[in-house]
Amino acid sequence: MSMAPQIPQTGTDQAHVVGEPDHRIMLADGMAAQILASYPVRPDADLYSLATAIEFHCSQCREHCEATLVAVRNHWLLCPGCYAALDAVRAPPAPEVPDTRSAA
For the chain, how many structural domains are there in total? 1
Please give the model's pTM, rounded to 2 decimal places: 0.66
In a domain, 98, yes or no: no
- Does a structural domain hold residue 23? yes
Q: Please state, in angstroms and rounded to a whole number, the distance separating the CA atoms of residues 77 and 56.
A: 8
Give the structural domain span for 50.
15-87
Each of the 104 residues of the chain gets a pLDDT tens digit; together they read 455 544 444 444 677 677 665 688 888 888 889 999 988 778 888 899 999 999 999 999 999 999 999 999 888 999 989 988 887 555 555 666 666 666 55
Is 102 inside a domain boundary? no
- Number of neighbouring beta carbons within 10 Å of residue 44: 9
The answer to whether residue 79 is domain-embedded is: yes
The CA-CA-CA angle for residues 25, 26, 29, to 5°, reads 140
Is residue 21 one of the residues assigned to a domain?
A: yes
Residue 38 lies in a domain: yes
81 is a domain residue: yes
Q: Is 30 left (phi over 0), alpha (psi -120 to 50) or beta?
A: left
Domain contains 104: no
CA atoms within a 13 Å half-sphere pointing along the CA-CB vector of 40: 3
Chain centroid to CA 96: how far?
A: 31
